[in-house]
Structure 1
Amino acid sequence: MNDMTPIQTTLKDWETDQEVRWCPGCGDYAILKAVQRTLPVIGAHPANTVFVSGIGCSSRFPYYVESYGFHTIHGRAPAFATGIKLANPDLDVWIVTGDGDGMSIGGNHTMHVLRRNLDCQILLFNNEIYGLTKGQYSPTSRPGTTSPTTPLGSYDRPASPCAFALGSGARFIARAFDVSKELSNTLIAAHAHKGAAFVEIFQNCIVYNKDRFDDFTTKGTDDKQLWCKHGEPLLFGNAKTGSIKGLALDLDTLSLKVVDVIDGDWQAAGVAVHNVRNRGMAHMLVEMPFGPFPMALGVIYDDPAPTFEGSVALERQQATAGKTADLGKLLSKGQTWTVEPEAAHGLMD
């Protein structure tokens, strides 16, 4: 077993000597710094930390974090991470993937690591495009997206990573965006969760899908952001102008609706209080159409359950209790026979 005692590190301790090679202005730079700032806060140890990635721009991540890392094959990072965690449950495993890597060729692997509830952090960078392979549309691209593979505009209905994760049985769902001041806090919450923690991070692809998320990520769009915090009312809007709104539950349609909050009295307006253990509320929050509704961010769902590696370890313990390992006995068990040297010689004649 490894010593998982938290240690004191700084951001510099998590930087490598590798040249960071993303396009200038790429949102991945901001995410990398947020992760490197977060690791010292959670007391992470480089010798016990593993970053696993698949294929894509986001998948260069392991080269840039001073820890153990695996740059694996397209969409299969969850499979490698599962093997790593089962081999050494004490390791702190992070999966870094993208909307193409994790939601297309790796969709089934993402689903299974979530439903099994492997104790790991899954960071899905969503830029709604295939960046590394030069701008093709991805599973999360919006209708009308023009690209080399959709020159007249995409007509596919985009996948929602958080809705997919919830449908796969995920026990922790969160959202943030690359340059958000809250990204580090969201990562801290994900790490504190025991089990598979799924974090969708909206990431600006400066070359092939520039400014796609400007309508809720840039300065002056705070009124379009709903940062979900457990036990607090679901409020958003502009406090300076007094234009505060909230989300209330419409019992007639069993859906959310936007209500005005007058004089700060959110209770009179019927604004709902966020409960991270309410799975139904989580589904409504991640599926809200942006525009009429704000973008739900922060920790949306957090309801721990037994982990996969914990269940495997318990099964092994129960299967071996009171038994002595004997390889020879195992090999000779069942229908076996011995071929004497003389008989073997006769067979060869």
Structure 2
Amino acid sequence: MSSEVRFTDFKSDKQPTWCPGCGDFGTMNGMMKALAETGNDPDNTFVVAGIGCSGKIGTYMHSYALHGVHGRALPVGTGVKLANPNLEVMVAGGDGDGYSIGAGHFVHAVRRNVDMTYVVMDNRIYGLTKGQASPTSREDFQTSTTPEGPKQPPVNPMALALAAGATFIAQSFSSDALRHQEIIQKAIEHDGFGFVNTFSPCVTFNDVDTYDYFRDSLVDLQDTDHDSSDFDAAKDKILDSSKEYMGVIYQEEDSVSYEQQHGVTENMSEIPDGAPDDAMDLVREFY
């Protein structure tokens, strides 16, 4: 860890308005600690967030930040990273923001493998809009708008990521502070798109997927013989509906980020207006 930067340096002077006990507190703390442990500081960190309870995180962290529109955090994060590859870019979202309206952007961000970290605060409900079923809610999860449950299987975000060609897939739990930090750190250190689905319980609207449920049900992969470099083993874990796993599920150890593959190395803010530049052409390909 850098002797000059502490995780508290990433805390802004804004007080979170999340409900007391919300899992997002632990998720954010782990992100800040991981950033400090990997030698980053607020001056070289950019946090992008979407809409929902998770969207507030950029306000509560002291760094460069942008609070985008619903489901569009990943395209913004991609643009930021390609415009200035020297920045540490972290994108934060929720299960609604990321796996519903943002699902298309998620798949394409995964396959591009831009070197940034995506942390999804998965509470399996729409918390900000008062408790509707989300893409990851259980098929029989009863809410005010789905009194008999959604009656459709939940989205498996890790399966989506693996099918799209992800080079780093992990799952963490906001209440397990040390493991959550370690997992986020590994995602930051990964050369490419680091995806972490974080169980972040909603204490107000979800009385099923609770802290106690995850403590009792999660299987930590570091306590097993799981080989995260084994694609087939990762697929088996991801498709195993009988268990919930925590840890790095899959990592392509020889991953090469988009920037490295295409020579995106310059900070575009330092490129004179009108100057030809291959990196600018690469950014234009996305839009």
Report TM bin, short chain.
Answer: 0.7 to 0.9
Judge conservation of contact 2:2–2:37 (CA < 8 Å) in 1: no
Out of 238, 244, 247, which is 1:286 matched to? Answer: 238
Distance verdict in 2 for CA 1:85–1:7, change over 3 Å: farther
Aligned length: 266
Query: Which has the bigger relative contact order, CA under 8 A and spacing at least 6?
Result: 2
2:221 match: 228
Tell me the SS of whatever aligns to 1:209: coil
In the alignment, structure 1 residue 308 sits paired with structure 2 residue 281: no
Q: Which moved more, 1:175-184 or 1:105-114?
A: 175-184
1:156 match: 152
* Partner AA of 1:192 in structure 2: E
Segments of structure 2 that go 5 or more residues without pairing to the other structure are: 267-274, 277-287
Higher helix residue share:
2
1:19 match: 15
Distance verdict in 2 for CA 1:211–1:30, change over 3 Å: farther
Tell me the SS of whatever aligns to 1:129: coil
Out of 94, 99, 106, which is 2:95 matched to? Answer: 99
Judge conservation of contact 1:216–1:295 (CA < 8 Å) in 2: no
How far has the Cα of 1:36 moved from its partner? 2.1
In the alignment, structure 1 residue 50 sits paired with structure 2 residue 46: yes
Q: Deviations over 1:63-95 (max 9, x none)?
A: 111110010011011110111111111110001
How far has the Cα of 1:34 moved from its partner? 1.7
In the alignment, structure 1 residue 76 sits paired with structure 2 residue 28: no
1:129 match: 125
1:264 match: none
Taking the aligned partners of 1:296 and 1:158, their CA distance within structure 2 comes to 16
How far has the Cα of 1:148 moved from its partner? 2.6
Matches within 5 A, 1:205-244: 205-214=202-211, 216-218=213-215, 221=216, 224-229=217-222, 234=224
Q: Deviations over 1:7-63 (max 9, x none)?
A: 621122111111111011111111122222222211112111010011110111111
Distance verdict in 2 for CA 1:143–1:215, change over 3 Å: farther
Out of 190, 193, 214, which is 1:193 matched to? Answer: 190
* Partner AA of 1:70 in structure 2: L
1:297 match: 246
How far has the Cα of 1:276 moved from its partner? 1.5
Q: Deviations over 1:243-273 (max 9, x none)?
A: xxxxxxxxxxxxxxxxxxxxxxxxxxxxxx3
2:280 match: none
Judge conservation of contact 1:14–1:67 (CA < 8 Å) in 2: yes
Tell me the SS of whatever aligns to 2:19: coil
* Partner AA of 2:94 in structure 1: G
Taking the aligned partners of 2:141 and 2:12, their CA distance within structure 1 comes to 36
Q: Cα RMSD (Å) of the superposition?
A: 2.0
Question: Where does structure 1 differ by over 6 angstroms across 4 or more consecutive aligned residues?
Answer: none
Judge conservation of contact 2:202–2:210 (CA < 8 Å) in 1: no
In the alignment, structure 1 residue 276 sits paired with structure 2 residue 242: no
Judge conservation of contact 2:10–2:41 (CA < 8 Å) in 1: no
How far has the Cα of 1:228 moved from its partner? 1.8
Tell me the SS of whatever aligns to 1:55: coil
Segments of structure 1 that go 5 or more residues without pairing to the other structure are: 235-272, 317-324, 327-349
How far has the Cα of 1:295 moved from its partner? 2.1
Distance verdict in 2 for CA 1:314–1:79, change over 3 Å: closer
Judge conservation of contact 2:161–2:169 (CA < 8 Å) in 1: yes
Identity within the alignment, %: 36
Q: Deviations over 1:202-226 (max 9, x none)?
A: 11111111351446433xx3xx432
Judge conservation of contact 2:34–2:184 (CA < 8 Å) in 1: yes
Distance verdict in 2 for CA 1:151–1:18, change over 3 Å: same
Judge conservation of contact 1:8–1:43 (CA < 8 Å) in 2: no
